Amino acid sequence: MYFNGINFKDNSEYSYACAKIRALENKLLTRNDFIRMLDLDNEQILQYLIDHNYHVEGIDPSDVNFLQVFSNEWSSVVEMVTEMLDNEMINKAVLIKYDFLNLKILVKTSIQNDEERQNVDDIKLFQVTTVPGDDLKEIFFEGNFDRLPDYLKHEIKVFEQIENISPSAVDIILDKAMYSKLLDFANKSGSEFLYKYYQRLVDLKNLLNLFRLKSLNKEFKDYSMILMEGGLLDTSTLSKLYAESMDMIVNRLHYLDYYNELKAGFDYYEQTNSLSEMERLFDNWMIEFVKTGKMVLFGPEAIIGYYFAKENELKNLRIVLTGKENNLDKEMVTERLRENYV
């Protein structure tokens, strides 16, 4: 399935990386694996993960800290992928997500009350980023922002000018900035695939947020604040839609590629008053999109695709394990599992 005829360039430089990715794709967990895991105990699950190439060095098998396993695995995946891509812009377009997350944590710490504030040394930040977390922390608290790359410097300067900012505004400003930077880097990297991925992601997020804010009875003002530019759906179209009722919005958007997902998600919302199904279907749609990267024999697409597939896999794993740990209803867990990449 080709989405709007993306022109995938052939690039034999990536033949080593792509063949490695192909072999790694074999080890990705499938839906059946996840369902089977629901009946296993922790030790067996750990064995399962080891069989699927998870990095579990230094993990005590009798008392498994899965969060640790996940974050180890994730940083090793990020490291491997960025090394394979070996393209500064693509790497930035993948990594600055975590720079911005670090930045959010730091800004929020700085506006916290004194009694709630964490000790500076206790703040845990992501290290696999374009600016390592520890450096960012140091720069942030010293106030020496000139050492930061431009794309982060500008955002911090924004916060210096605002006083009494609400925590959600911190997120909103930084999220918006992050997506515009992601799109920008993806565009500059020349990877059409990545750029189109982010465009569609922005669209889906805008659309999902539209429904979320409407279901929370928020005003249009709030929505216009979080509406992100750069997607394929025009922001003015979405703004106009906000005034309409939800089922009208769904009808109006019948021309979208993901209309079926939208409709099914909305039907679920009408029954249960929860948008979780829409979110899941949108996630699935993005995975469907990422799957087109597999068609490319050699090129960054397959690697980027693997990166998103792994992100998705970890999400599914977390769903399974949290469900198991807290004895959530199995049906509830399985119906929230996301589509698989392989």
- Site membership for other proteins, residue 237 (CB under 8 A): no
Site string (16-35) toward other proteins, x via CB under 8 A: xxxxxxxxxxxx--------
Give the count of residues interacting with other proteins (CB under 8 A): 67
By CB under 8 A, residue 319 contacts other proteins: yes
CA atoms within 13 A on the CB side of 100: 23
Burial of 210 (0-12, 13-18, 19+ CB in 10 A): buried
Of the candidates 44, 59, 18, the residue with the CA atom closest to the CA atom of residue 294:
18
Asked if 288 interacts with other proteins (CB under 8 A), we say: no
Asked if 110 interacts with other proteins (CB under 8 A), we say no
Q: Using the rule CB under 8 A, is 188 a contact of other proteins?
A: no
For residue 18 the two structure tokens come to 């792509």
Residue 315 is a binding residue for other proteins (CB under 8 A): yes
Rounded Cα distance between 41 and 45, Å, is 6
Choose the stretch contacting other proteins; rule: CB under 8 A; options: 29-37, 38-46, 246-254, 269-277: 269-277
Q: In sequence order, which ranges of 112-149 are alpha helices (DSSP H)? A: 133-142
Pick one of 35, 111, 246, 256: the residue that binds other proteins (CB under 8 A). Answer: 111
- For other proteins, which residue of 213, 233, 253, 303 counts as binding (CB under 8 A)? 213
d(CA 224, CA 226): 6
- Closest to other proteins by CB, 70 vs 146, is 70
Cα separation, 110 vs 108, whole angstroms: 5
Among 33, 203, 261, 279, binds other proteins (CB under 8 A): 279
Map residues 114-153 to x or -, x wherever contact with other proteins holds by CB under 8 A.
--x-------x-x---------------------------
Amino acid identity for residue 93 in this structure: A
- 37, 183, 238, 321: residue in contact with other proteins (rule CB under 8 A): 321
Which of 36, 52, 212, 330 is the binder for other proteins (CB under 8 A)?
A: 212
Q: Rounded to whole angstroms, how far apart are CA atoms 314 and 27?
A: 13
* CB crowding 94-132: b at 16 or more within 10 Å, else e: bbbbbbbbbbbbbbbbebeeeeeeeeeeebebbebbbbe
Query: Is residue 249 a contact residue for other proteins (CB under 8 A)?
Result: no
* Count of H-run helices and E-run strands, the chain: 16, 0
Taking the CA atoms of residue 238, residue 239, residue 243 and residue 247 in that order, the dihedral angle to the nearest 10 degrees is: 10
The yes or no reply on residue 65 touching other proteins (CB under 8 A) is no
User: What is the CB neighbour count within 10 angstroms for residue 144?
Assistant: 10
Measured from the CB atom, the residue of 47 and 168 that comes closer to other proteins is: 168
Residues that bind other proteins (CB under 8 A): 10, 12, 15-27, 53, 67, 70-71, 74, 101, 104-105, 108-109, 111-112, 116, 124, 126, 166-168, 170-172, 174-176, 179, 205, 208-209, 212-213, 215-216, 226, 228, 274-276, 278-279, 297-298, 314-315, 318-319, 321-323, 326, 328, 332, 336
